[in-house]
């Protein structure tokens, strides 16, 4: 996922933005495949995974199972989001990933938790779902901004080498 930044930067520098675009798509698919593989274990074997770390308290195990089952799905979204934001960063667009992160990692999760707290009772599952909402938001915004294609026209001035 982080390698997408390097591949995009290299291909843009070589004058091949189409290859950069394709590379991000391929990297996102690999990221999703890896996340899906891990997600199967998170979803179907959460108690066994928690036992590896000595989790025996029933309440902690229950909360841990909830979290791992949410992360089983959340991982799919965050792997795609990280790949596409890496692509944006590799192109020289560092502002969009910053704004995406602020919205998806601060505004959305805290906003969801605040609203639930204001109109009901905040439980751990709500926090996990707020994190999932943030990851979905990050994925959607990252893909949307990357596909807009403005990154293809960013000029990066690295200065002149003194020799």
Question: Residues near 94 by Cβ (< 8 Å), separated by ≥ 6?
Answer: 88
* Mean pLDDT value across the chain: 94
- pLDDT digit string (tens) for 102-126? 999 999 999 999 999 999 999 999 9
pLDDT at residue 161 in the model: 67
Backbone angles phi, psi at 8, to 5 degrees: -65, -50
Which residue from 69, 67, 82 is spatially nearest to 135, judged by alpha carbons? 82
Q: What is the pLDDT of residues 2-18, one digit of tens each?
A: 788 999 999 998 989 99
- 45-78 pLDDT, tens digit per residue, is 999 999 999 999 999 999 999 999 999 999 999 9
Confidence of residue 152 (pLDDT cuts 50, 70, 90): confident
């Amino acid at each position: 996922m982080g390698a997408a930044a390097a591949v995009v930067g290299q291909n843009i520098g070589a004058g091949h933005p189409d290859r950069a675009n394709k590379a991000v798509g391929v990297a996102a698919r690999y990221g999703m495949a890896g996340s899906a593989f891990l997600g199967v274990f998170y979803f179907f074997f959460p108690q066994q995974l928690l036992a590896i770390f000595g989790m025996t308290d029933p309440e902690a195990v229950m909360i841990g199972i909830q979290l791992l089952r949410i992360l089983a799905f959340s991982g799919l979204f965050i792997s795609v989001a990280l790949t596409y934001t890496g692509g944006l960063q590799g192109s020289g667009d560092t502002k969009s990933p910053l704004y995406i992160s602020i919205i998806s990692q601060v505004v959305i999760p805290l906003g969801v938790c605040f609203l639930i707290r204001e109109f009901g009772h905040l439980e751990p599952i709500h926090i996990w779902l707020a994190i999932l909402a943030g990851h979905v938001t990050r994925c959607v915004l990252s893909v949307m901004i990357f596909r807009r294609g403005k990154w293809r026209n960013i000029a990066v001035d690295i200065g002149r080498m003194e020799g």
